[in-house]
Structure 1
Amino acid sequence: MSETTEVLEIDNTEDNKVDDLYMVFIIDNKKYALSSKYVIEIIEMLPITKVPFIPDYIKGIINLRSTIIPVMDTRMRFKMEEIEYNERTCIVIIENNDNKIGLIVDAVNEVINISDSQIMKTTSNRKEYDQNFIKGVSEINKEVQFILDCEELISIEGGINKEIVM
């Protein structure tokens, strides 16, 4: 498997408060934001090795610099129509509590500041749904961003990492 060039690396040493920096990406023409503290890097698509007996939205695993990382198609996880990957499709590598997972997204948009006061919390009862990945909504420059709950995404992956032992 050949190495790929990094598309973007998040630099948390900027003057901005790290907790306020969010990476914004596109899925189905909607903007989603994820705290940059979870984002390790953004890479071009790599060959994905399928793994049996895992949910359909987990596309398989990649070998990234000798580290095996499970990869989730975020569209499929959000129960959206699956599309063919193109030159803008990329994998966002995130990490929380030593669990890494790659999120396939339609495109990465930007890194922006979103303070806690700019996030409107959702009031839905999480128990009403299987998973609620949206923890809030923000509107900046007249554009809406859905703020994702990284810990919910990682918790889905948590059991999968243990099953994929090479």
Structure 2
Amino acid sequence: MKENNQLVVFGLNNQHYGLQIENVSEIIRIMEITRVPNTQYYCKGIINLRGAIVPVISLSLRLGLEENKLGRDSRIIVTETIKGKLGLIVDSVYSVTRYSNDEVEKSETMNGEDRFIKGILKEENDMILLLNLKEVMED
């Protein structure tokens, strides 16, 4: 039986990633992003989301991947943690899925080297890499 854990499943560079739904406040279409000088290479700028200033990053660049051009399916996943809000630009958002903790596997090949990935969830013929949002938000 599946526990009540839920993931927002999204795509980056033809790979599926998952983010725990309790960290997601909303998913929005790409909007105008105001650039901020002297920020990290993966920081795209800030957006005004109903009066709240939200920093936005390219999740692809943050994870060390090649950045795709923004397209019709591109989205900003607005996350919220104790540290505040952060917008993550992703190639597309697919679904919300349920999973149980015992379905999550640690990768033998990663050997804990990828601090951005908490584990792997196998689903049918696909693998979903579970994102460690806390590490993504660290400088």
Letter matched to residue 8 of structure 2: M
Alignment of 1:146-165 (within 5 A): 146-156=129-139
Residue 112 (structure 2) aligned to one of 125, 131, 148: 125
Residue 52 (structure 1) aligned to one of 24, 37, 55: 37
Alignment of 1:1-166 (within 5 A): 17=4, 20-122=5-107, 124-126=111-113, 132-156=115-139
Write out per-residue CA displacement over residues 39-78 of structure 1, whole angstroms, 9 at most, x where no aligned residue.
0000000100000111110000000000000001011112
Cα root mean square deviation, aligned: 1.4
CA distance in 2, matches of 1:63, 1:39: 17
SS at match of 2:60: helix
CA distance in 1, matches of 2:127, 2:25: 24
CA distance in 2, matches of 1:125, 1:118: 18
Q: Is the 8 A contact 2:13 2:68 kept in 1?
A: no
Letter matched to residue 86 of structure 1: G
Rg comparison, structure with higher value: 1
Instruction: Report the count of equivalent residues.
Output: 135
Letter matched to residue 67 of structure 1: A
Structure with greater contact order relative to length (CA < 8 Å, sep ≥ 6) = 2
The TM-score, its normalising length taken from structure 1, stands at 0.77
Higher helix share: 1
Q: Which runs of 5+ in 1 are unaligned?
A: 1-15, 157-166
The TM-score, its normalising length taken from structure 2, stands at 0.91
Q: Is the 8 A contact 1:32 1:145 kept in 2?
A: yes
SS at match of 1:88: coil
SS at match of 1:72: strand
CA distance in 1, matches of 2:32, 2:17: 25
Identity of counterpart residues, as a percentage?
33
In the TM superposition, what is the alpha-carbon distance from 1:121 to its structure 2 partner? 2.2
